[in-house]
Amino acid sequence: MLRRLYEEYDLAVERILIKEYKRLGLTMQEMQVLLALFSIYKKRRTFSISAIAKRIEYSTNDIGGHIESLLNKGFMLISLESKDQREREIFELDPTFKKIQELFKQDDVEKIKQQEESHIAQTIRRFEQGLGRMLMPYELENIRVWYEDKTFSHEQIAKAIDTAKEKISIKYVERILNQNIPKEIEIDDEVNQALDEVFKKMK
């Protein structure tokens, strides 16, 4: 997806690299070599250290070392291509696009994790305030199931607590929720794992 956005819609992947190179595990020098490769990538895929050297002020030996590091870290590929009965080295930057996508995906999972942690804490606090005591382990387990199984949204849980008012209890709120069970929401394995981490912290 990122590659298509870059090639067809001029996605500013260079800006992303400048901002995120440390989180991607790159040194400043490796990032600059990678930026030079992206500059070449827009015009051709032929690999040439001299072409890189025209764009950054590093020696060819240094560039060669950084290229080797980028290959070892999985940010690029170099292969041989036959054209007009001649072989030439070409490079691919697909691995870089994949690493950026994975970084953004991890960020999304972390945001979901933080949001769920906040929602769970809010729900527990509201029950404890309404009941005037700490929740019992089985009550915490009920709340865990609500969020982990995604049977009910946080908004539905909050509304059910509002409806319960002074009759608030786990069983009564669950009865209100079960009166109108929504369609099950699909959730991927990574989000499930994030939710598991949230509840492990609470134990």
Q: Which amino acid is at 63?
A: I
List pLDDT tens digits, range 46-96: 999 999 999 999 999 999 999 999 999 999 999 998 877 788 899 999 999
Unique residue bearing structure tokens 């527990």: 124
Helix, strand, coil shares of the chain, percent, nearest 5, are 65, 5, 25
- CA distances to 27, 33, 67, 70, 140 from 30, in Å: 5, 5, 8, 7, 48
CB atoms within 10 A of CB 165: 9
- Which pLDDT score, from 0 to 100, does residue 193 have? 66
Angle at 64 between CA 58 and CA 24, to 5 degrees: 85
More confident residue, 136 or 196: 136
Q: What is the 3-state secondary structure (H, E, C) of 71-82?
A: HHCCCCEEEEEE
Predicted structure pTM score: 0.63
Is the confidence at residue 188, as pLDDT, over 80? Answer: no
Q: What is the DSSP letter of 29?
A: H
Q: Which residues on neighbouring strands pair with residue 81, listed in sequence order?
A: 88
Is the confidence at residue 181, as pLDDT, over 70? Answer: no
Q: pLDDT-based confidence at 186, cuts 50/70/90?
A: low
CA 59 and chain centroid, separation: 36
Nearest Cα residue to 27 out of 93, 35, 50:
35
How far apart are the C-alpha atoms of 101 and 89, rounded to whole Å?
26
